[in-house]
Structures are given as C-alpha cells and as structure tokens.
Amino acid sequence: METLAIALLAFFTVGWFVLAGADIGTGMLALWLGRNDRERRLVLASFAPFFLGNEVWLVAAAGVLVGCFPALEGELLSGRLPVLVALLTGWILRDAGLWSRGRGPGSRWRAGCDAAVAGGSWIVALSWGWLLAAPLTGRPYAPATGPTAVLTALAVAALFAAHGLGFAALRLTGVPYERARRLVGRAGRPWQSFALTGVLLAALPLWAGSALPLAGRTASPATLGLLVPALLVVTPPLVAVQAWIWHAFRHRVTGPSYL
Amino acid sequence: MNQDVLDLARLQFALTAGGHFLFVALTLGLATVVAVLQTRATFSREPLHARMVRFWGQLYVINYAVGIVTGLVMEFQFGMAWSGLTHEAGNILGASLAVETIVAFFVESTFLGLWIFGWNRLNRWAHLAAIWIVVLTAYVSAYWILVSNGFLNHPVGYASEGGELVLDDPVAVLTNPSALLAFGHVLAGALLTAGFFMAGVSAYHLFRRTPEWEFFGRSLRIGIFLSAPALMAAAVFGGLQFGTLTTFQPMKSAVFSGKAAEIARIQAEMTDRFGPGDYVPSEAWTRGGGLVMLISFALMMYLCFAGVILACFKKVVFRFRLWHLVLMAAVPLPYLAMIGGWVFREAGRQPWVVYGLLRTEDAVSDLSPGTMRLSLTVFTTVFALLALLNAWLLARHARRGPVESGLGHDERPDAAAGGEGGAPPADPADALPAPRY
C-alpha cells in the first residue's frame, strides 16, 4: 500500500509537470509569440481546451499528499509557506487573466489580461524552481535561500519555457507558429524537442521526491487500505477521458476559442 | 503557540473559506439550472431555450472560473496554516479531502473544459452529458467537503491510537448526520441563491423594458418557482440540524439562546471532562451569525410567498416594476443567509477545531507572526480583488443580456458556410524544407 501511495503521488505530480508545464510554458511566452491582440488570442487558444484539465493534476497531487501522507503534508506546506503563497498568487493571477480576457471591455483590458497570464505563468514556474531548490540545499522543510535557490528557480523556469515553446510549435499556425519554430530549430520534427523537455520535466519531481521521507510517513493502514484502492480504481477512467479530450482537440489551432 | 499567529490564521481561514463558500453557493445552484435548461433545449430544439442555456451558462462559467481559483487556496491552506489538524486528524480528514480532489474536482474540471470548449464540436447529446457530469460531480464535491466538515463538527467513526486519530468505522464517517444534514442544507441554499440571482437579473431587464421580455419573463418565473421549494428545503434541513445541536454541541445552542444558567452548567461539565479552559464560544459571532441567517430567511420567505402568487399572472411578471426593484434588491439575501449560517456553525463550535478532541489553538502551524501576516495580507487582497472582478463581470454580462458572442459562440471559420467542411489544414511543419546536413 505504501509503495502504491507513493506511486500515485508520483503519477499525479509528473502528470502535472508534463501536461500543465506545456500550458504554463506557452503562457510564459505568450507576449513574445503573439505580438498583437489576434495573435495572442490564438496563442491562448492553443492550450485553452486543456488548461483546466491540466491544472487539476496538481490539485489531485495535493489531495494524494494530504490523504496518504497527512502529517508530512502539514510539515512540508507550513514550512514553505512563503513559496506557496507566491505559487498560489501566480496561479490565481494567471487563471484570472485567462478567464477574464474575453469577458471584459476593450483592447487595453485584453492587453492587461495577457500580461497577467504571462506574469502569472512566470511566477508559477519560478516558484516551482524555488520549491524544488529546497531538496538541493538539503533542507526540504524550509524555503531555499542563496544562489542555489536563484539558479534553480531560473533553470526550472527556463525548462518550463522550453517545454511551452515545443508545445506552441506543435499547436500553432501562422505567424506565432513561425516565431516558435524559428526558436525550436528546423532540424528534426517539432515533437522531438517537446518530448525531450517533457522527459526532463517528468524527472524533476521524481528526483526532488526521492529526497523526501515518504516511506514511513504514510497515513494509518486503515485509511490507506480504503483510500489507495479507491484512487487506483478511478484513476484509469479519468486518464482515459483526458486522453480523449487531447485527441478531440488534437488539430492545430487556426482560430480563437472562448478565452 | 503564538496568540498573534492563531488569530491571524483564524482570520485568514474565515475570510478565504467564507469567500470561497459564497462563490460555490451560486456555482452549485446555477449549474443545476443550466443543466436542466440544456436538457429542455436538447429535447425541444427551440432557439429560445438554447439561448437561455448560453446566457445563464455564461454567468455560471464566469462565477465558476473565479470560484475555482479561490478553491485552490483552500486546498493548500490546511497544510500551510493548520498542520496540527493534518497531524492529529489527517487520517480521516485527509482521506475525504483526497477523494474530493480526485473523484470530484478532477472530473468536474475535465468535463467543464469539455463543455465550454466542445460547444458546436461535440454531438449535442454528448454535450448534454458533459454538463450533467459537471453538476453531479459538483454535488459529490460538496458532499466530500461536508464529510470533512461534519467530522470536525461531530467526530464519529474514529479510534485513538498513540495520540493520533485513526479511521475505525468508515460507514459512520460517510453517514455522519452532521455531514448529511449540512449537505442537504447547503444544496438547498445553493439552489435558493441561484433562484434569487435569476429572478433579480431577469427583473432588471423587465424593469428596463429591454427587448428580451419573453426571455426574461420566463427566466424570472423559473427563478421564483425554484426559490420557493428551495427555501422550504433549506428550512427543513436547517431545523433538523438545529435539533441535533442539543446532543451534538449543547454549548452552541445554549449560547445562541442566551441562557446564562445553561452556559454555566455546560462550562462546568466540560471543565470536568477536558480540564480547565474557556469552553464558551464568542457570543457576538454565534448569535450574530444565527440572527443574520434567521432574519434573511424571514425576508426571503415573505418574498417567495408573494412571488409565487405574483408570478402566476403574466401581466404582473412583465409590468409590476416595484416588484422588479424588490427582486433586484433581494439578490444579496441568500448570500447573507449562507454566510450567517456558516459563521453560526463554525464560530459556535469554538474553542474546538475537532469537537471535543482538538482545540483550534493546538492545530495552528508553528509559523512566525511575520509569515502569517504576509500570507493573510496577500490572500485577503487577492480574494477581495477576485470578488470585485466576479461582481463586475457578472453585472456586465447580466446587463448585456443574451448576445451573439461569448459562451457557445461558433468560432469555426467555416461555420457560416454550414458545418465543418474539408480536412483540417495540413501540418505547417510539413511545408518546411527538409533539414540539410
């Protein structure tokens, strides 16, 4: 049960990094990929049908953490409260920008929302870097400080951006596509760079998680015995539905969406 | 434990949970209405019905989107500010939160994305199924949250092992009367909120005599005829909950009724059981919350009673402008009742976070006052801005009425030409020259 609980946590965390990493990375580059209102709307449309389904992977990971490792969750989260405040603020800013962009008045409002999406995405990516720097410094329960923290934050953010760039090269058309493709490079197919950044992003949380004392900090056997099988049963259909959505919206975007 | 940190953490939880709760109230109720409207539109194929789905669906999506981001903070807050709670009661509380996130929230968000972005793309029956899955998982989500909250208010099905609570009887936890009755009460309250919201928005358009009189005449009647039974259901579940208090939380009901002798007796009893301490919750918050709820209930009852009679006459629905004004002014009433009832429930069980088992002061995280102050400032500011954004966007779209844009607008370039034509455009990556080495 303990191993399965760890596997579930790893699965949802890796899922978030690979899937949401793509829309966060694209969001980080939104102002550069799209230079006017129309182009930016197209850039957002590239991940519009997926971002809501993507972000819940992190919510699910947090759920597994609190359900299967409750005491550890409390120590981890309260110890790094400042980093989480930054992460959540960036997340909220980004989502508020995405949802409100098409609902408010005028081009200034939309430009402001675009800036919120890009800024929020950067804050989320940098906060994750800051969060992951803690195991590097050997103190997983406190926010990392010093040059290690800064360098890790920047490196992780760059990886998110590269992942988003690969996603943009796979999803966009027209001028924003040309911009993304120029940076990805013309050698090989665009999915190759996306796959590479995906593997790197998947490795990040696994490597950081190996520094956590997960085994031995699980919830009591009575709880795990009910919770883990229940989660294992519902996870495959959930993944199947999400896979179907990716399939339904697999074509490159040529026009705007609801956002 | 630092008194400042405790007060700040409680204030943060009250403001963020209260804010989130108010978003949820409208989301949960309006989702149900939209799903029923869409069912009718799918069967009847009438354009007016389809337009109603899009208009009320647009308002629902705005409110949901802002509500979901407030929920993100809630998800992480237990671990951040209340690590004592996850430490002591995590075996039970954590499990229900985990099931909520994966079984309910995950499914709800996935299908909501499908519903919003799959408009005009999905088969209309699949599209209808998507909104119903969203509604049902929203209910499941509310149920699991109230299982957690019910356990805090009235812990059942647990055993104590080495100073930690462990799960003993899962069925007892899942059928906790404190959770089930609250679930019925909150659900009815959510439908009531949606009913008053629909009636108020429709009344605005009828008052202004906008061209959409038929659209809003029908919507107003839906709002009224939904509010009346929802109010009755909320009152029944509320009454049942109140009845359980004398056994579950006698102190709360004594403080609410202001019986000094009774309060002193229970205080002495609890001192015997749990050791010295102050077991009387804040009288101002407990009684204040309860009274706000009861007064709003009384006002809503008069309005619903009158409304059901008035809404039977077509001329009155379209022309009685004073009634329209009253309905517009009444939109905040269900919100007041919801927040009042919630303050009564949560403030009235202090000093306990898990009733009779864990005190609030023992559950707060070991944080510095500076960190807690930073977190409180940031989240309060963000929540206030989100509430303003939501109110402004809702008002803006409600005022605009049903228009040919926004949710459900067919964005496909060839939509005007009739249906999807031809193969999807070729992959631009194919058009590039082959790599040269």
Dump pLDDT digits (tens) for A140-192: 777 777 788 888 889 999 999 989 988 888 888 888 887 888 887 776 677 88
Is A50 in CB contact (< 8 Å) with chain B? yes
Per-residue pLDDT at B420: 39
A163/A169 Cα distance (integer angstroms): 10
Closest by CA position to B58, among listed B328, B395, B388: B395
pLDDT in tens, B262-302: 888 888 888 888 888 888 888 888 888 989 999 999 999 99
Q: What is the pLDDT of residue B422?
A: 40
Beta-carbon contacts of residue B273 (< 8 Å; ≥ 6 apart): none
Binary contact (B79, A73; C-beta < 8 A): yes
**Using CA atoms, how far apart are residues B26 and B198, in angstroms rounded to an integer?**
10
Predicted pLDDT of residue B161: 81
- Residues with Cβ < 8 Å from A41, sequence gap 6 or more? A34, A101, A102, A110, A256, A259
- State the alpha helices, DSSP H only, in B249-368: 250-257, 260-274, 283-310, 314-319, 321-329, 332-347, 360-363
Average pLDDT, chain B: 85
Interface contact B99-A66, CB threshold 8 A? no
Identity of the amino acid at B202: S
Q: What is the pLDDT of residue B225?
A: 93
pLDDT at B260 over 80: yes
* Contact assignment for B86 to A257 by CB distance below 8 Å: no
Q: Where are the beta strands (DSSP E) in B155-207?
A: 158-161, 164-167
CB-CB: which of A65, A181, A223 is closest to B95? A223
Please give the Cα distance from B103 to B112 (Å, whole number).
Answer: 14
The token pair that represents A126 in the structure block: 């940098």
Say whether A74 and B62 touch across the interface (CB within 8 A). Answer: no
Chain B, nearest residue to A77 by Cα: B80
* The token pair that represents B87 in the structure block: 């430490």
Min Cα distance B131 → chain A (Å) is: 15
Answering whether pTM is above 0.80, one says yes
C-alpha distances (whole Å) from A151 to each of A147, B25, B306, B426 are 6, 44, 66, 41
Predicted confidence at residue B200, as pLDDT, reads: 94
Min Cα separation A207/chain B (Å): 22
Tell whether the model's pLDDT for residue B172 goes beyond 90. no
Residue B231 pLDDT exceeds 90: yes
Q: Rounded CA gap, B349 and B280, in Å?
A: 9
Q: Pull the structure tokens for residue B217.
A: 């005449």
Write the single-letter amino acid at A238. L
CA distance A133 to A143: 8
Average pLDDT over residues A10-36: 90
> Can you give the pLDDT at residue B418?
38
Nearest CB to A70; choose among B66, B86, B161: B86
Report CB contact under 8 Å: B167, A67: no
Q: Could you tell me how many residues make up chain A?
A: 259
Residues of B in contact with A249 (CB under 8 A): 117
> Which residue in B86, B413, B428 is closest to A255 by CB distance?
B413
Least confident of A183-197, A199-213, B91-105, B354-368: A183-197
Interchain contact A4–B (C-beta under 8 A)? no
3-state helix, strand, coil in chain B (%, to 5): 80, 5, 20
A179-231 pLDDT, tens digit each: 888 887 776 677 888 888 888 888 888 888 777 777 777 777 778 888 888 88
Residue B161 phi, psi (nearest 5)? -135, 110
CB spacing of B409 vs A258 below 8 angstroms: yes
The structural domains of chain A, with segments of one domain joined by +, span: 2-248
Name the range with the highest mean pLDDT among A154-158, A189-193, B30-34, B394-398: B30-34
B67 to A4, A117, B24: CA distances (angstroms):
32, 18, 6
Binning pLDDT at 50, 70 and 90, where does residue B189 land? very high
